[in-house]
Chain A
Amino acid sequence: MMMTTGTAEPRGQALAINNLSLEFPTFSGAVKALDNVSINVAKAEVVGIVGESGCGKSVTTMAATGLLPKGRYHITGGNVRLFGHSTLSMDDSQLQDLRGKVVSTIFQEPMNALNPTIRIGRQLTDVIMRHEEIGLVEARRVARDILADMLIGEPERVMNLYPFELSGGMRQRVLIAMAFSCNPGLIIADEPTTALDVTVQAVILRLIQNRARRTGTAVVFISHNVAVVSQLCDRLYVMYAGRIVEHGATRSVLETPQHPYTQALLRCLPERVAPKQDLEAIPGAVPNLLQPPAGCYFQPRCKEAVEQCRSRSPQLAGEGGQQVACWRRGVAAELPGQGGRQ
């Protein structure tokens, strides 16, 4: 199905995040939001990041595209390259140039991302004209085409409406149109369908997929829903408490999950259990990243944890495209520089 490209061969990188570590300073101390996160996205590839709330999946891409509020976080290690640009050292105006033209983000709540007082058409053409040197007439034509491409019935009429006159699904389509309007090389879709109904969600996912395939755009798809990611993505990363615990081709990760967390995550879904039987819940709760547990962060909830897990953090390793960070799965190396600069 979506496995046409297989695992990433070196076709050129769209996004390369290397050992990114990040902290949020708070009153009670530093929250270690990301710890040695590495994510690679090849051009024209669809990659998923899965994890529960607070696992750092949004923070990763927001940090990479400079969307985190200035002064509220510290990068404690690692680097990010977006089509060869090192984004972490860029200033605001450079990032502004990059966003829209090179990378676009689609957020969960479409209402917040649109200006309620400006008509849809104007908002679209503004974005297009900021990044492409074309006139208003031409920009309106581009906007109309891309709205039609999002299967919006009467693009002309929709362009004359205000955001509140559209349903949630329509607004999200407009935002996707906006994200694709300048033909960026990478789209970051941050839970774009979480607020929507399943029938609308299916359409939105299809639209993203079709457009990305046709234009050769790479997509990073962030979701808490493993099933959605499995339908859309070539490869996926599983995150837990600010670390990547498993990574590989979607099929292999979902069919033969290696990390105890991934295994538990898949087992606790009601889909695979007989009616009325107890689900295999993961005991406990996500760790407090102010005082993360020693060693592997999943160890307090893990059935297989041994002494080594409680003292040292495993590094992501593995062969054949599937990587896992677990001592019990033959990992040999410890995670470098615990929060320190490398």
Chain B
Amino acid sequence: MTKAVDILTRPVLEVSDLHVRFPASRNWLGRPTSHVHAVNGVTLTVSAGKSLGIVGESGCGKSTLAQAIIGLAPYGEGRVAIDGEDFQKAEGKRKRALRQKMQIVFQDPQSSLDRRLPVWRLISEPLHIRGGHSRAELRAKAEELAVAVGLRPEHLDRLPHEFSGGQRQRIAIARAISTDPELMVLDEPTSALDVSVQAQIINLLLKLQRERGLTYLLISHDVALVRHFCDDVAVMYLGQIVESGPADAVLSNPRHPYTQTLLAAAPSFESPLPDIAQVRAGELPNNRNLPDGCFYRQRCDRIGGGCEVGQVLRRLSESARHVRCHLAQT
């Protein structure tokens, strides 16, 4: 267990002050005239072997954050570092090496697997692209990975459409672990699946984490899942983290008004349907023109003096928790 010690302290993923925006409209010269501000200054760290959950509603920027981290969405401001190395700035060989260290699992395995390629080819695609393996080696490696995620060797020559949703997600996971990554970005990996299958996939991911010391960044809208799966949680609203900290503490005793609303609205056996006033039906503000002051001001019920200035993520005195609300600083 000597390895476990230095794992605990070493950050695998560091994101600092990340801003991602997309051109929303262009003038006739092709220059952007307005932008969609998807991610507005996100800073987070995930230590080796830990899981961080990003929770938020659609449009809060959590998927864009995942895409920026994995290199699918270019960003202008901020820094994403894998094992201390800036990914976007890296070039050539270094970049290729960094790529192997992180992998993504997408939401819908139906669309994330090319329906014309057989399973062994799908699983070994990252290695095939990296090059330097013979066909037989790729196949052998694919077989080993398939077994690791609970598929059978005879599945290797079949096409994705011959599998159920859960098995397809296993194929996608096998593909993701093929390069022996340190960080796995899980973008709603179970929301396209039925609950009974979700449980199989969650168990598989937990098992892989225990066996391989994987670090997870889980993007999800399911609060119960994040509470179960993650060590830490960050709640996002309009491209900002509004609250973060240990998953259990944040989700059982939320301090930011938005987190409170989100938890009250989440369907649960234990509680009745919330009143409409309790979930404040307001719409997400337009992320083309970011609001002044606190981003949550229009929907907040505790609004008072101090909300008209932009809020910063401050550490709560007693713990590892951070909240972006001046009213929660007690």
Interface check A86, CB cutoff 8 A: no
For B45, what are the chain A residues with a Cβ–Cβ distance below 8 Å? none
Q: Is B58 within 8 A of A197, CB to CB?
A: yes
Is A236 close to B, CB under 8 A? no
- Interface residue? B268 (CB, 8 A): yes
Asked if residues B194 and A224 are in contact (CB atoms below 8 Å), the reply is yes
- Cβ-closest chain B residue relative to A193: B267
What is the bound-complex CA distance between A270 and B264, given in angstroms? 17
Could you mark each residue 271-309 of chain B with 1 if its beta carbon is under 8 Å from any beta carbon of chain A, else 0? 111111011110110000000000000000000000000
Nearest chain A CB to B16 CB, angstrom units: 28
Q: How far is the CB of A248 from chain B (nearest CB, A)?
A: 16
Q: A10-18, A100-108, A132-140, A273-281: which one contacts chain B?
A: A273-281
Counting CB contacts under 8 A, is B229 at the interface?
yes
- Docked complex Cα distance between A198 and B191 (Å): 14
> Chain B nearest CB: distance from A139 CB in Å?
26
Minimum CB–CB distance for A163 against chain B, Å: 16
Which A39-55 residues have C-beta < 8 A from chain B?
52-53
Neighbouring B residues of A202 by C-beta, 8 Å: 264-265, 267, 273-274, 276, 278-279
Taken residue by residue from 185 to 227, chain B's Cβ proximity to chain A (1 for < 8 Å, 0 otherwise) reads as 0000000001111111011001100000000000001111101
**Nearest residue, chain B, Cβ from A279:** B199
Tell me the bound Cα distance from A7 to B221 in angstroms.
34
Contact B197 A270 (CB under 8 A): no
> Roughly how many angstroms separate A169 CA and B225 CA in the complex, as a whole number?
23
Q: Is the CB of A197 within 8 A of B221?
A: yes
A269 on interface, CB distance cutoff 8 Å: yes
Stretch of A68-76, A178-186, A225-233 that contacts chain B: A225-233
- Given A52-B195, A271-B268, A279-B203, the answer on whether A197 and B57 have CB atoms closer than 8 Å is yes
Contacting pair A198 B273 (CB below 8 A) = no
Q: In the complex, what's the smallest C-beta–C-beta distance from A323 to chain B, in angstroms?
A: 21
| A227:B267 contact, CB within 8 angstroms | yes
Residue of A nearest to B223 (CB): A198
Q: Are B281 and A203 in contact (CB under 8 A)?
A: yes
Q: Contacts of B280 on A, CB cut-off 8 Å?
A: 199
CB distance from A110 to the nearest CB of B (A): 14
Known: A169-B283, A264-B196. A269 touches B224 (CB 8 A): yes
Residues of A within 8 A of B3 (CB): none
Known pairs A53-B194, A203-B279, A285-B164; A275 contacts B272 (CB<8 A):
no
| Contact yes or no, A225 B229, CB < 8 A | no
**A275, B53: Cα distance in complex, Å:** 13
The answer to whether B164 and A270 touch across the interface, beta carbons within 8 angstroms, is no
Complex interface: chain B residues within 8 A of A62 (CB): none
Which residues does chain B contribute within 8 Å of A273, judged by CB atoms?
A: 228
Contact B283 A230 (CB under 8 A): no
Inter-chain contact B267/A286, CB cutoff 8 Å: no
Tell me, yes or no, whether B269 is within 8 Å of chain A by CB. Answer: yes
Interface residue range, chain A? 35 or more
Q: Is A265 an interface residue (CB 8 A)?
A: yes
Q: How long is the Cα–Cα vector from A240 to B262 in the complex, in angstroms?
A: 31
Residues of A within 8 A of B273 (CB): 2, 202, 205-206, 209, 231-232
Pick from B202, B264, B272, B276: contact of A279, CB under 8 Å? B202
Q: Does A305 contact B (CB under 8 A)?
A: no
B206 / chain A contacts, CB cutoff of 8 Å: 276, 278
Cα of A278 to Cα of B268 in the assembled complex, Å:
20
B229 close to A270 (CB less than 8 A): yes
Interchain CB contact under 8 A, B197 and A285: yes
A151 CA / B275 CA spacing, docked (Å): 13
Name the contact of B196 in the complex, choosing from A169, A254, A282 (C-beta under 8 A): A282
> Which A residues from 170 to 205 make CB contacts under 8 A with B?
170, 197-203, 205
Chain A hits for B284, CB < 8 A:
167
B248 nearest CB neighbor, chain A only: A275
User: What string of 1s and 0s marks CB contacts (under 8 Å) between A26-49 and chain B?
Assistant: 000000000000000000000000
Tell whether B97 is near chain A: CB-to-CB under 8 Å: no
Across the interface, which residues of B come within 8 angstroms of A224, CB to CB?
194-195
A191 to chain B, nearest CB (A): 13
Nearest CB in chain A to that of B270: its residue: A271
**B265 A198 Cβ-Cβ under 8 A:** yes
CB distance from B208 to the nearest CB of A (A): 13
Question: Which chain B residue lies CB-closest to A52?
Answer: B194
Nearest A-chain residue to B247, judged by Cβ: A275
Does B195 lie within 8 Å of A199, measured CB to CB? no
A332 within 8 A of B: no
B261 within 8 A of A: yes
Q: How far is the CA of A252 from the CA of B202 in the complex (A)?
A: 28
Q: Is the CB of B275 within 8 A of A206?
A: yes
Q: How far is the CA of A198 from the CA of B58 in the complex (A)?
A: 10
Q: Which residues of A contact B198 (CB under 8 A)?
A: 268
Q: Are A265 and B281 in contact (CB under 8 A)?
A: no
Residues of B within 8 A of A279 (CB): 199, 202-203, 228
How long is the Cα–Cα vector from A201 to B164 in the complex, in angstroms? 28
A207 to B198, CA, bound (A): 30
**Distance A206 CA – B264 CA, assembled complex (angstroms):** 13
B263: nearest residue on chain A (CB-CB)?
A198
User: Is there an interface contact between A268 and B248, defined as CB atoms closer than 8 Å?
Assistant: no
Residues of A within 8 A of B225 (CB): 270
**Residues on the A chain within 8 Å of B58, using CB:** 197
B272: chain A residues within 8 A (beta carbon):
1-2, 231
Residues of A near any B CB (own CB < 8 A)? 1-2, 52-53, 151, 167, 169-170, 197-203, 205-207, 209, 224-228, 230-232, 254, 264-265, 268-271, 273, 275-276, 278-283, 285-286
Give 25 CB contacts A-B under 8 Å. A2-B272, A2-B273, A52-B194, A167-B284, A198-B265, A198-B267, A199-B279, A202-B265, A202-B273, A205-B273, A206-B275, A225-B267, A227-B268, A231-B272, A254-B269, A269-B224, A270-B202, A270-B228, A270-B229, A275-B228, A276-B206, A278-B206, A278-B207, A281-B196, A285-B167
Q: A264-B196, A278-B207, A282-B199 are in contact. List 6 more A-B contacts (CB 8 A).
A: A231-B273, A275-B247, A276-B229, A285-B197, A286-B164, A286-B194
Where the two chains meet, the residues of B that have a C-beta atom closer than 8 Å to any C-beta of A are 57-58, 164, 166-167, 194-200, 202-203, 206-207, 221-225, 227-229, 247-248, 261-262, 264-269, 271-276, 278-281, 283-284
